[in-house]
Structure 1
Amino acid sequence: MACLCRRRRRGHHGGPPRLVRRDDAELLELVEMEVRELLSKYDFPGDDIPIVKGSALKALEGDQSDIGEPAIFGQQARWMDYSGPVTADAFEGITFFDHPTNPGHPTHWHVREDGWMGASLCFAEPRLLRKTEPLTLRYLLHLHRGAADQIRSDEAFSVFTMSTAYAVERSTKKHTTNEIHRLP
């Protein structure tokens, strides 16, 4: 047996003592330049990578307001969205859905102002794992153009809840370790 997350943990922002606000255009531009230089320094195409300028949105249960990390961190919801401008003319995002069969659904969300977000399976309580009871988790990542849309997100969630899961199994094929199959 293994116990994950024996105690409740709180995240912290490891960056500068003051978070960059989206309405501080000059500071945002300086931060973006530094990020691009750092990416280029390590042989990534720093000048070509889109950088999202936004913060976590609690785009769930009809709340489309940009309320940020302090108000969202640890809250439960069926889904979470992160959206923002990727270029001067493009606004895009990603919606992270928690399946109703997951333990603790709706999940608690671990979010940070820098755009990181994740379902927190053991945020509120420990989860005991046993070999005889495999842990099965289902999540959906939905990429979208424009801001998160409540109707479109609810439709995607509905389709997701009705779909069958995938299974990762050992492969019998030569030079292939695993295969992914949709369950019946």
Structure 2
Amino acid sequence: MSPIAVIPQFSIAPSDDPLQRDAMKRLIFPCLLFASPLLADEGFTIKGTSDPVMIHVELDGKPYTTFRTDSRVPYCAPLMSASGAVLSRRWPMENGFKEDEDHPHHRSFWMSHGNVNGHDFWAWQFGKDPKIELKKVVGIEKDSFTVDLAWTAGGATHLTETRTYGFKKIDAKTTMIDFTSKLTAADGDATFGDTKEGFFAIRVDRTLRQKGPVAKGSIADSEGRKAGVTWGKRSNWVAFTGPDEKNEPAVIAVFDHPSNLRYPTWWHARDYGLLAANPFGIHDFEGKKDKTLGNLVLKKGESMTFRYAVVLHHGSLESSKLPELWKDFSKNP
């Protein structure tokens, strides 16, 4: 096996939040973050860097995604197809791609929520808080990494989180990101408010959208619904399909897991490219008058765990075999 080459850096704009940049410089992490990754002739390899902390993921020696902490909410960007095309939104991390500059908090691939104890971790503004901050890199393996995070606002830690990203190569054209999050109420009870603004989310690239000057995509769910009909409905998965930036067929999908709260989840899937699984926004999705219908309270010290998957496929919706992949995913605890 040959040594892994230096991972190329993407041209990504630095954080606009000076508090976030300064905080990153002060954080102390285990030395394992900066150790060389386990080596493999092919498959996934993972390596961490500092200032700001980033965790780079390669597939077969090529960039796949990077976990970034240069924002108020951590995110992964970009998400790469087997074709080498970027399937996730580039802006505001990268400029020059003529993207609509809306919703700057929609950063490629992330998780946050619009109401935790009254604090908006979703559509945040630059400033002191709220924020989801990295506390520690727990471990980096050949095909996964785990981080500890804290959801802080108003001088309190509302939630602590242990989050694991696992990476799997299904075949030459398909990869999967297996995501697990354990959320624990920290300084006191944590109330997740009923809002459509959340939770586990991706913003897709321009051509995969249904709306926009170069949009050629479509939306489908596991129940056979299409386009805007998928919004606010419950299903096992939702996918965006269409040509990628190379004009080759692509699919990007999110899977819900049967162990998750209120499975099957509701979906905040929009024609402009947002794809989010959200188990809390019941009154928004179902048009109910009771705006607390979807609330959930975690008592201090209580935890709940969420499991999702992201599938990236170079090919059509039919060739992606999403029903079979979801079935296999659903069987794993």
Using the size of structure 1 for normalisation, the TM-score is: 0.58
Gaps of 5+ in 2: 1-188, 199-208, 283-293
Measure, in 2, the Cα distance between the counterparts of 1:150 and 1:76: 23
Structure 2 vs 1, CA of residues 131 and 156 (structure 1 numbering), >3 Å: closer, same or farther? farther
Task: State the SS of the aligned residue for 1:77.
Answer: coil
Q: Partner residue of 1:81?
A: 239
**Greater than 6 Å deviation, 4+ residue runs:** none
Does 1:93 pair with 2:251?
A: yes
Deviations 1:23-59 (A, max 9, x none): xxxxx6xx35xxxxxxxxxxxxxxxxxxx6314x123
Matched letter for residue 191 of structure 2: C
Higher relative contact order (CA 8 A, sep 6+): 1
- Which of 113, 125, 136 is the matching residue for 2:305? 136
Measure, in 2, the Cα distance between the counterparts of 1:140 and 1:122: 19
Q: Report the CA distance between 1:82 and its aligned residue.
A: 0.8
Q: Partner residue of 2:265?
A: 107
Measure, in 1, the Cα distance between the counterparts of 2:280 and 2:235: 15
Structure 2 vs 1, CA of residues 95 and 60 (structure 1 numbering), >3 Å: closer, same or farther? same
Structure 2 vs 1, CA of residues 10 and 89 (structure 1 numbering), >3 Å: closer, same or farther? closer
Contact 1:59–1:148 (8 Å) recurs in 2: no
How high is the sequence identity, in percent, across the aligned residues?
27
Q: Partner residue of 2:192?
A: 4
Richer in helix (by share): 1
Gaps of 5+ in 1: 12-19, 23-27, 33-51, 165-184
Contact 2:240–2:251 (8 Å) recurs in 1: yes
Deviations 1:7-30 (A, max 9, x none): 44489xxxxxxxx977xxxxx6xx
Structure 2 vs 1, CA of residues 73 and 128 (structure 1 numbering), >3 Å: closer, same or farther? same
1:42-53 alignment, distance < 5 Å: 53=216
Measure, in 2, the Cα distance between the counterparts of 1:2 and 1:147: 41
1:13-28 alignment, distance < 5 Å: none
Matched letter for residue 60 of structure 1: S
